[in-house]
């Protein structure tokens, strides 16, 4: 039906309903009445062409990328000073049964002049710490340490780097005993991303640091064997 002219009956319908319905309601009612699939823009253009007065929203919703009710914005204002954005997003979704993302809640706060607890860390002095959503302690360094220029780094990484230098690309630092509050240097182990994946895949993590370190050595040995097998298979000469 899209692109076809409107009948007099349809125009009369628009004249009767447009003053009391916003465009989305009017479009839905029109399509239900006449069995069509007109779009909102098509109905809007028909009203403009035939000088039909439409009902308009007096107040536009906040430009947050998604519509938040006044009650929801009040919730964000009340809870934001007490929570990080991760905590705020979780609390919001639990309170209203929704699935807003961290980025959506952050945008809503920025666009409505709401200042969550974590946003006030920008002016914090070096050495300031906080616990992130994964339970790791992050510390503010005097200069950017991450490759993307961020200045908040996981504390155990800072401690390891102070003794051994920057963590090589493709590697990470783990807690041998799984305790994210045990920053003893001998509890911090450098592993490759592949080795960490192997530890997780085969469930080799242990609360005993010595067992975890042994598991890391096993993962390294398996990786070395796989690498050697690839080299050997790729270098085997073809038979004549």
HEC secondary structure over the chain = CCCCCCCHHHHHHHHHHHHHCCHHHHHHHHHHHHCCCCCHHHHHHHHHHCCCCCCCCCCCCCCCCCCCCHHHHHHHHHHHHHCCHHHHHHHHHHHHCCCCCHHHHHHHHHHCCCCCHHHHHHHCCCCCEEECCCCCEEEECCCCCCCCCCCEEEHHHHHHHHHHCCCCCCEEEEECCCCCCCCCHHHEEEEEHHHHHHHHHCCCCCCCHHHHHHHHHHHHHHHHHHHHHHHHHHHCCCCC
Q: Which pLDDT value is given to residue 149? A: 53
Instruction: Enumerate residues 6+ apart whose C-beta is below 8 A from 34.
Output: 1, 10, 13
CA 138 to chain centre: 18
Distance CA 72, CA 92 (A): 8
- Using an 8 Å Cβ cutoff, are 140 and 151 in contact? yes
Distance CA 229, CA 53 (A): 76
Domain layout of the chain by residue ranges: 8-49, 70-120, 129-233
Handedness of CA 36, 41, 47, 53 (dihedral sign): positive
Distance CA 115, CA 112 (A): 9
Q: Which pLDDT value is given to residue 190? A: 93
Distance CA 34, CA 1 (A): 10
Distance CA 130, CA 127 (A): 10
Write out the two tokens for 63: 């430009």
How confident is the prediction along the chain (240 residues), in pLDDT tens digits per residue? Answer: 446 788 888 898 888 888 887 788 888 888 888 887 888 888 888 888 898 988 665 544 444 445 788 888 888 888 887 777 778 888 888 888 888 887 888 888 888 888 766 555 556 678 887 777 678 888 888 765 555 456 778 899 999 999 999 999 889 999 999 899 999 999 999 998 888 888 877 788 888 989 999 988 888 888 788 778 878 876 545 444
Q: Which pLDDT value is given to residue 177? A: 92
Write out the two tokens for 78: 């009340």
Write out the two tokens for 163: 């003794």
Query: Which residue, among 146, 202, 152, 203, has the nearest Cα to 178 in the 3D structure?
Result: 203
Residue at token pair 């914090």: 124
């Amino acid at each position: 039906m899209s692109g076809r002219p409107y009948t007099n009956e349809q125009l009369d319908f628009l004249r009767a309903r447009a003053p009391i319905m916003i465009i989305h309601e009017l479009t839905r009612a029109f399509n239900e009445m006449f069995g069509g699939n007109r779009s909102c823009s098509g109905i809007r253009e028909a009203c403009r062409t035939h000088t039909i007065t439409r009902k308009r929203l007096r107040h536009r919703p906040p430009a947050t990328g998604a519509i938040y009710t006044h009650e929801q914005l009040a919730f964000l204002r009340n809870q934001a000073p007490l929570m990080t954005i991760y905590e705020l997003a979780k609390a919001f979704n639990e309170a209203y049964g929704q699935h807003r993302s961290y980025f959506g809640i952050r945008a809503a706060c920025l666009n409505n002049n709401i200042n969550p607890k974590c946003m006030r860390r920008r002016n914090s002095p070096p050495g300031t710490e906080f616990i992130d959503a994964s339970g790791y302690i992050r510390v503010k360094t005097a200069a950017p340490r991450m490759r993307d220029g961020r200045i908040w780094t996981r504390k155990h990484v800072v401690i390891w780097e102070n003794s051994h230098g920057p963590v090589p690309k493709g590697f990470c630092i783990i807690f041998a005993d799984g305790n994210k509050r045990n920053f003893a240097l001998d509890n911090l182990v450098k592993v490759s991303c592949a080795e960490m994946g192997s530890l997780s895949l085969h469930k080799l993590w242990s609360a005993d640091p010595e067992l975890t370190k042994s598991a890391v050595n096993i993962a390294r040995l398996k990786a070395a064997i796989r690498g050697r097998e690839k080299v050997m298979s790729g270098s085997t000469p073809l038979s004549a």
